[in-house]
A and B are shown apart, each in its own frame.
Chain A
Amino acid sequence: MDTREKDIEKLKDYKYGFTTEIENIKAPKGLNEDVIKFISNIKKEPQWMLDFRLKAYERLKLLKEPNWQKPKYPKIDYQDLYYYSAPKSMKDKPKSLDELDPKLLETYKKLGIPLQEQARLNGIAVDAVFDSVSVATTFKGELTKHGIIFCSMSEAIQKHPELVKKYLGTVIPVTDHFFATLNSAVFTDGSFVYIPEGTKCPMELSTYFRINASETGQFERTLIIADKGSYVSYLEGCTAPMRDENQLHAANVELIALDDAEIKYSTVQNWYPGDENGKGGIYNFVTKRGLCKGKNSKISWTQVETGSAITWKYPSCILKGDNSIGEFYSIAITNNHQKADTGTKMIHLGKNTRSKIISKGISAGFSDMTYRGLVDINSKAKNSSNYTQCDSLLMGNKCGAHTVPYIKNKNFDSNIAHEATTSKISDEQLYYCQQRGLNQEEAVGLIVNGFCKEVLQQLPMEFAVEAQKLVGISLEGSVG
């Protein structure tokens, strides 16, 4: 069997490829003020929230879609998208899990996250997002005991307006780039986390995203605030049903760490990447930005990117507080016709700030992978340092791996070191493994996992296992 046939085989049993039939409430197609008012109205938002959206929309009208990125995509008709859809049974929020639409529960089961069981067994509070509206939030009791707020964005706007008002849009302002601003105008829902002063969050917070209704742009908005001396670890994972049409996903994630606080944000992304000819698949144009606002604060991004037709995102850290730390660990895998342009930005503003970037890119098939990063040390950021390492692994000569780092050092007290290598799995390595009884696929899996180990180690235990499996699945059939 040649590689292509194997790829097709693999896609046939894409295990997350299914759709659930639920009647949806949709906003009328298109993007205009009325749609924004419709969204705001249906979510019973206060006036200031609507003003926020409209301000963003005004700004959006002046912006052009960026086109400097490497993976080009067919033009998106923003007037041909639905900006809001919610499962019908959600009109009145269910009080407990039992009240949920059985079809919804079924969907989660297929995904491998039965809410109750997972909540009980793993001790993880799950805030599952099904088509833009949070369906259920569990483990509230335990979190409330610690004073932690973990709820959907819509709920936060209703119940904690003072926090949302204070922090929303402070890291990603409404005047940001095109996709971020689009999100500010039309975002539907997302997660909101607030960790009070001096609290260490007792469990990993996790959200599973899921895109369902076809032709729906998904615009999530996540806001995480870690108050002084607190700690939180947040997990985000994605799978999506099979479909033909391209879907745009332009989420915004804002992290804010105050004095001595630490936020760890991990992502495993496995959205539908399109078929073997590059048809379909999801456009993942996400804006993720963290602000180390206080002294001694720390933000760490870890991502495993295996899905999406096009991944285009740069989780960034703005190191404003003195002695703050930013970290970025990434594995990005592209196969078939997938394209990824991903990396990070580390902007050093405070004194003694440190950042570390470890990026591993693997490309196979006809895919294209770009690491693009910025390290900018401001003239005031005395005694700061950055270390960057980006390694690429190529499988076959139909794919590409590119590295485009931007390095700006304006401070003579600071050090920047950057290293990048590009290589392939050598025949010697394969031979060695096969000689010891592994078949080729297993050997490749082993070598690739070794290549990624530095990043996988950063993931929380529950995630690491899933991620490791994903890495293997994503590359099946790409060698041989």
Chain B
Amino acid sequence: MSEQLQSDFDKIVKTSKISKEEIQIKKDFLNKFIKRGFPNRKQEDWKFLDLNQIIKKNIGDISFFNDYSQPNKIDSSIFIDGLEHNKIIFINGRIEKIDFNYEDQNKIEISDETKKDISFDYENSLIDLNSALTHKVFKIIVKKNYSLKKPLIIYHSTNDKIKSTNINLRLDFELGENSCLRLIDFFTDNAAKNFINIFYNFNLEKNSILKNYKIDKFKNNSLKYSFNNIEQGNNSVSETFILSAGSDYFKNEINCNLNGEYSSAFINGVFSLKENQQHEIRTSINHLVENTKSYQLIKSVLGKNSKSAYQGRIFVNSKAQKTDGYQLSKAILLDETSEFNAKPELEIYADDVKCSHGSASGSLNEDSIFYLMSRGLNYQQSKELLINGFLLDVVEKITDSEIKNLIKNIIGLKE
């Protein structure tokens, strides 16, 4: 693999116009990645999802080179109807369009001269890979006191031009004081068997609000990894919702540092998996100062041969008194072959805190099904009703009503 990687890297360097300095930085990251390789189950964080194995089995020889010189045609059929929105469109990892037509252009700044350094500690070779190979890093700055009028939808789509390729992309966001951004990641894939590695970096200043919704609904056989790093200032709020259902493999990772007092983080996730899918959500919420709050709710519905995992970690620093942390994960196993793994972790160094977690898994309650059937529903209907109710609970946590309705429509949940 490393030979392939090296030659692809040389090709990338040749085709892109970047300074010598930058090449050196990228090379350092590349070497770091080559040293560690793709993560495997021997690493604690990857215990439940052995990426190295999965790539070997599903992709085999993975290519790291993408030709970014030619623009791709934008297929407007993927756009979401019925909701006015700003757009960023990625096709095969190339940014094709950035469109903030609904917004005050003075209040939003987009720059592609972002430093590639990474401001936090990590032990994750995929971030090295991302930093080494990402084509262009854009930074989107929302200025002080500005709330975007319309949500921003980032379309992640692939077409049949690429196959068995690794795509890396990175976006940085900076939310100024009192600003607000609603962000939807929307995945549509037509290409087969690619490994997509997404890295977002958020910086939330005082009183800012970030709402991030990740929607992976349509069946595709890609492997995806998404990493969000969120730094939060005083009184800021971050809300993340993950719908993890479409890809064959998907791991969402969120690292959230609550650096400012009264900041809070909410993470809600839904797994709805079928045939041979393997998905995971891993969170790490670091309560670093007083009076911070976090809330996590993850629910899984698991069909035949599917596997979901939730690894949640709440860390409370000894300074972080009056922390309020909560984690809950629930799973319904529908088939003999489905599997649910959880590792809800608490690491606490302060005494005046309220932290708890819960986890429950099992099959659908036969008594509930009996109750519904005795009221005239058939078995299938009763089952669906129960599952919908189970998942609706998470969707209802979405604070933005416009987007909540959109997501309900996409999932096909009715109240």
Contacts and interface: CB of A to CB of B under 8 A. Distances in A.
Interface string B331-343: 1011111111111
Contacts, number: 113
B345 A403 contact: yes
B383 to A, nearest CB: 13
A402 B347 contact: yes
Interface stretch (B139-147, B164-172, B240-248, B353-361): B353-361
B361 A416 contact: yes
B344 interface: yes
Interface string A392-431: 1011111111111111111111111111111110000000
A344 B319 CA distance: 31
B336 A402 contact: no
Contacts of B343: 404-407
A470 to B, nearest CB: 22
Contact of B363 (A396, A398, A401, A413): A413
Contacts of B321: 397
A400 B360 contact: no
Contacts of A421: 355-356
Contacts of B346: 392, 401-404, 420, 422
Nearest to A413: B363
Contact of B358 (A379, A398, A404, A418): A418
Nearest to A416: B361
Interface residues of B, number: 36
Contacts of B334: 412
Interface residues of A, number: 34
Contacts of B337: 379
A68 interface: yes
Contacts of B347: 400, 402
Given A420-B356, A420-B357, A423-B354, A409 B345 contact: no
B356 A407 contact: no
Contacts of A403: 344-346, 357
Contacts of A404: 343, 345-346
B359 A418 contact: yes
Contacts of A407: 340-344, 359, 361
Nearest to A402: B347
A59 B281 CA distance: 38
Contacts of A413: 363
A415 B362 contact: yes
| Residue picked from A392, A395, A424, most chain B C-beta under 10 Å | A424
A403 B339 CA distance: 22
B371 interface: no
Given A409-B333, A409-B339, A412-B336, A417 B345 contact: no
Q: Which 7 A-B pairs have the closest CB atoms?
A: A412-B333, A415-B362, A394-B351, A418-B359, A407-B342, A403-B346, A424-B351
26 contacts: A395-B351, A397-B318, A397-B319, A397-B350, A399-B351, A401-B346, A401-B348, A402-B348, A403-B345, A405-B344, A407-B359, A407-B361, A409-B361, A409-B362, A411-B333, A412-B334, A412-B335, A412-B362, A415-B361, A415-B363, A417-B358, A418-B344, A421-B355, A422-B348, A423-B354, A424-B353
